[in-house]
A and B are shown apart, each in its own frame.
Chain A
Amino acid sequence: MPLELFLQTIVNATYAASYMALIAVGLVLIFGVMGVVNFAHGELYMAGAYTVVALYSGFGAPFFLAVAAGLIFVGLLGLLMEYTLFRPLRDNPLGGLIASIGFLLILQTVAVLGFGVRMKDVLPPARKSIVFPGGAILTYERLYVIIAAVVLLSALWIFLRKSKFGWALRACAQDREAAALQGISINNTARLAMFIGAALAGVAGALTAPLVSPTPYMGHPVIITAFIIIIVGGVGSLEGAVLAAILYAFVSTFVTTIYDGTLANIVGLLLMLVVLILKPTGLFGAKERA
């Protein structure tokens, strides 16, 4: 592998790790607090991308305004899911999972009806790029994703560690009933977790819209990737999800560059199966939930 390609692959992997981490952390947060595996998480990502398609490509709104709208819109979708699906099904984890599959189908159909099944090309907002010494290129669009991941995930980490809400959220993730006995409102905490988790997926979708050409079915590969990451990282561990996202992104990007994309997917899934078999708590997950 020539040095230039090697450096470029590292840059690509860093970008991939960033958006994967945004998605996987949201999924872990939802699972941790609600005990539900949100199968519709890939479609929340899709909804974020289509917000940019509608506002930025459609109405010509500024790109970052569209991204912010995507964050809020998808966060609200998360609240809707919490209120209509996960709250009534709180005592039935499998039920929540199945309901989220139903929600996934609805979101997909809405996208098909609203925008058609064809790919929507989104014009890159910056059309500039950084050229590193050594020849590797990083476009501004990818840079935004990396910055967003670092900033948002750091903010989330500080929020969970320092704020009262964050403590409540972590308490709920550890033991819901004990948290309720301490006077923590489970409904409020679930709402908050669902909003943050969904909004992170929405931001990832909105920021990657110019890079991936959204389709209504773009959530499918994303949710598979997210599952691989949360299993490898240890279900319920936020730090684990970030580390696993980095690990998976580098493995996947390098295998794709050297061999091909299908093999990269196979390797990723096998990695997950091996982790499931040998260490179900994940490579980085210290404590296990459920």
Chain B
Amino acid sequence: MPERGLNLSWIIGAVLLAAVLIVLPYLLSFSQQEILVLLVINVLLVSSYRLLTLTGEWSLAHVVIMGVGAYASALVSKDLGVPVPLAMLAGAAIAGLLAFLLSFPLFRMKGFYFLIGSFAAGEVIRLIWKWTELTWLFGGPKGIKLIPAFPDIKLFSLDIDFYNPVNYYYLCLIVVGISLLVLYRIERSRIGLTFHAIHWQDKLAESVGVDTFRYRTMAFVISSVFAGLAGALYAHYVGTVNPNRFDVEEMVYVLIWAIVGGTATFYGPIIGVVVLTILNEVVLRALGVDQMRPMLYGALLILFILFLPDGMESVVPRVKAWFAGRRQRRAVAKQPAEAEQPAE
């Protein structure tokens, strides 16, 4: 993004991207359209995760928080009869509220302890969903089924049916697009800059009067609200949620998307989830090696952490730097050659 205003190339880029995103579902098969919907939801999930990582904390509860949004939205719409769009917002709000409550114990810890603490908190939530004593509410291990779908929109002669994945894809695109814009603005705001400051210099930030606990909580709550929203979008699309859908394995995939893409820039995790999903759905499906999926993801994770720890996004500046370096080396190589000639 340029510092000031929008220049022409950015406008062209944005229009092209929008055009591709709008046309895209018509180029795909039905099952690919369904995957596309999930991909858009995952983009929101991983982007919201990145906001938390800005403060330097890596949570292992993010997918469970997404599940909280999904469960809450499902229950509010199914049991209380609240219209689905409102239920989705309620789901996001409840996820944020829960994150706010969890932040009191969790942000007494940092680093590895926070990681483990968030893991434990997430597992407790998941176990509560599974608990047979609460089956009347959360449906036990089988979860909640028959979640109301997003209602049709009838405008004049226009009738938009959200059972159709293409229409739901557009809905997700709008919701996720707006959410990403909000997340981006937050990151670029003073609050976002404070997150960065806390990550790199938390003691220094504290010494100039930044309440690090408050900002950590803020990052956690905001990222949880959007994770909850992603969960709500998921629940009303798939129509069923269960505790195993939000287990630590799913969390590992979010981590892999974020790390393979790189978390230093806003677009890094999005690149990660898009590239890996395409790899997964196109290449692996074509090869028919579905069982090998975890192994390939694991190998990919190890290779990236060993050889490209800043993710795919770091390839671009590296290549640029390499070219710049080559030009420089050439210039340097030429100069002595010229300098030597008179000496002969």
Contact = CB atoms under 8 A, between A and B. Distances in A.
Interface in B257-294: 259, 291-294
Contact of B309 (A92, A97, A109, A263): A92
Contacts of A269: 120-121, 123-124, 127
A266 B295 contact: no
B295 A106 contact: yes
A251 interface: no
Contacts of A213: none
Interface residues of B, number: 39
Contacts of B123: 224, 265, 269
B128 interface: yes
A94 interface: yes
B330 interface: no
Contact of B120 (A85, A112, A262, A273): A273
B131 A231 contact: no
A262 B259 contact: no
A160 interface: no
Interface stretch (B21-29, B155-163, B298-306): B298-306
Interface in A91-137: 92-95, 97-99, 101-106, 108-110, 112-113
B252 A276 contact: no
B108 interface: yes
B130 A262 contact: yes
A220 interface: yes
A105 B297 contact: yes
A94 B115 CA distance: 10
B140 to A, nearest CB: 9
A260 B116 CA distance: 24
B57 to A, nearest CB: 11
A88 B302 CA distance: 11
A280 interface: yes
A284 interface: no
Given A98-B255, A98-B301, A273-B124, A262 B131 contact: yes
Interface in A215-267: 220, 224, 227-228, 231, 260, 262-263, 265-266
Nearest to B117: A276
Nearest to A100: B302
Contacts of A98: 255, 259, 301, 305
B189 interface: no
Nearest to B309: A95
A260 B112 contact: no
Contact of A94 (B58, B108, B248): B58
B130 A270 contact: no
A273 B121 contact: yes
A106 B124 contact: no
A108 B295 CA distance: 8
Contacts of A224: 119, 123
Nearest to B109: A276
B47 to A, nearest CB: 19
B132 interface: yes
B127 A102 contact: no
Nearest to B121: A273
B294 A262 contact: no
A231 B117 CA distance: 10
Contacts of B133: 263
A22 B287 CA distance: 41
Contacts of B239: none
Given A92-B309, A220-B248, A263-B131, A102 B298 contact: yes
B10 interface: no
B113 interface: yes
**A97, A260, A276 — which one has the most chain B CB atoms within 10 A of its CB?**
A276
B255 A276 contact: no
A156 to B, nearest CB: 24
Interface in B139-163: none
Nearest to B295: A109
B255 A280 contact: no
B309 A112 contact: no
Interface of A: 37, 84-85, 88-89, 92-95, 97-99, 101-106, 108-110, 112-113, 220, 224, 227-228, 231, 260, 262-263, 265-266, 269-270, 272-273, 276-277, 280, 290
28 contacts: A37-B112, A37-B116, A88-B306, A94-B112, A99-B305, A101-B255, A102-B298, A102-B299, A103-B298, A103-B302, A104-B298, A105-B294, A105-B295, A106-B302, A109-B298, A110-B295, A224-B123, A227-B119, A228-B120, A231-B116, A262-B127, A265-B127, A269-B127, A270-B124, A272-B120, A273-B105, A276-B113, A280-B113
Given A102-B299, A113-B291, A262-B127, 19 more contacts: A37-B116, A85-B306, A94-B58, A95-B305, A95-B309, A101-B252, A102-B300, A106-B294, A106-B302, A109-B295, A113-B295, A227-B120, A228-B120, A269-B120, A269-B127, A273-B120, A276-B116, A276-B120, A280-B108
